[in-house]
Amino acid sequence: MDMSEPLPRVNGVALAEPQETLDVESLRQRACAELLRQAAMAAGLLDADDPEPRDGAMTERASAAIETLLETELRQPEPSDEACRRYHAAHAARYAVGERVRARHVLFAVTPGVDIAALRQRAEACLLDLRCQPADTAGRFAEVAGATSNCPSGAQGGELGWLTPANCAPEFARELFGQPEVGVLPRLVHSRFGLHVVEVLAREPGTLPAFEAVRSAVAQTLRQQAYTTALRQYLQRLAGRARVEGVALDAAAAPLVQ
């Protein structure tokens, strides 16, 4: 962190040490966590003398207080059977059993201190380059992956082999499975590891179970979506009432949990 710049703070509480180097996402997550910690204090769930976080780590009491706060503030009704059926009808392919995808990728890893805007520009340029190539460009994709990818698979041309949803991070699987595309996907895939340019080489669709067999999974998806939306809105309200310095929270919304 540039010593000449003021430390990022939420209501006067520093989010980082002067010598720390944090990427934008890590800093934003610390800000959101601090907003929640202070809200727990205001709600009487946490002592006012609770120690400020160090290196982003808060006390166990603070974590427990935030959990209690969110249980109170983010209560959501159970998804109705009708809502579950509508969601299943629109996304039935996501619940395919035995679906497999053979894919390869180029990873642009998000690491501490990386310039996210510059990283995204490089990833977008790579995506455009590979999307503009003819369909029979196995060698070109492998060449780019070998020279560019931050994943060890780059040494094998970015090959990930045959994947099932269980083999992937959930956010990666959401982009890969239940879709019809074969070829280089039209947009970057975002995951906890970074930005991916992904090519689907082949698909095996699997079988589609009846709604009744997957209703609980559908309901859990809708619960998670409702929770994420509620958390996003709650953080936006907290940020709107707080004095936030040195960190942009216009996306105060991205959830703290995956």
39 burial level (CB within 10 Å; 0-12, 13-18, 19+): buried
Q: How much of the chain, in percent, has pLDDT values that exceed 70?
A: 93
**pLDDT given for residue 213 in this prediction:** 95
Q: What are the residue ranges of helices labelled H in the chain? A: 24-42, 60-73, 81-91, 116-131, 138-148, 170-176, 211-241
Q: Which residue has the tokens 């930005």?
A: 195
For the chain, the maximum distance between any two Cα atoms, rounded to a whole number of angstroms, is: 64
Q: How confident is the model at residue 134 (pLDDT cuts 50, 70, 90)?
A: low
Q: How confident is the model at residue 252 (pLDDT cuts 50, 70, 90)?
A: very low
**pLDDT given for residue 32 in this prediction:** 92
Strand partners, 161: 103
In contact, 196 and 172? CB cutoff 8 Å: yes
Q: How confident is the model at residue 254 (pLDDT cuts 50, 70, 90)?
A: very low
Distances in Å between the alpha carbon of 72 and those of 40, 120, 231? 11, 37, 12
Whole-number CA gyration radius for the chain:
22
**pLDDT given for residue 114 in this prediction:** 82
Fold of 98-204: Chitinase A; domain 3 (3.10.50)
Question: Is residue 257 over pLDDT 70?
Answer: no
Question: Which comes out higher in pLDDT, residue 91 or 105?
Answer: 105
In contact, 195 and 111? CB cutoff 8 Å: no
Question: Is residue 231 over pLDDT 60?
Answer: yes
Mean pLDDT across the stretch 194-213?
A: 92
pLDDT tens figures, 162-184: 999 888 898 899 888 877 888 99
> Could you please report the per-residue DSSP string of 218-238?
HHHHHHHHHHHHHHHHHHHHH
Task: With residue 12 as reference, give the H or E element that holds it.
Answer: none
**pLDDT given for residue 256 in this prediction:** 46
pLDDT tens figures, 29-71: 889 999 999 999 999 999 999 999 887 788 999 999 999 999 9
**pLDDT given for residue 251 in this prediction:** 45
The tokens of 9 are what? Answer: 């703070």
Distances in Å between the alpha carbon of 73 and those of 40, 47, 64, 70, 230? 11, 19, 14, 5, 9
**pLDDT given for residue 137 in this prediction:** 53
Question: Is residue 135 over pLDDT 60?
Answer: no
Q: Which residue has the tokens 């720390």?
A: 20
Question: Is residue 4 over pLDDT 70?
Answer: no
Question: Is residue 253 over pLDDT 60?
Answer: no
Helix (H, G, I), strand (E, B) or coil at 16: coil
pTM for this entry: 0.63
Mean pLDDT across the stretch 9-37?
A: 86
Mean pLDDT across the stretch 225-244?
A: 92
Sorted by where each begins, the domain ranges of the chain are 1-92+211-258, 98-204
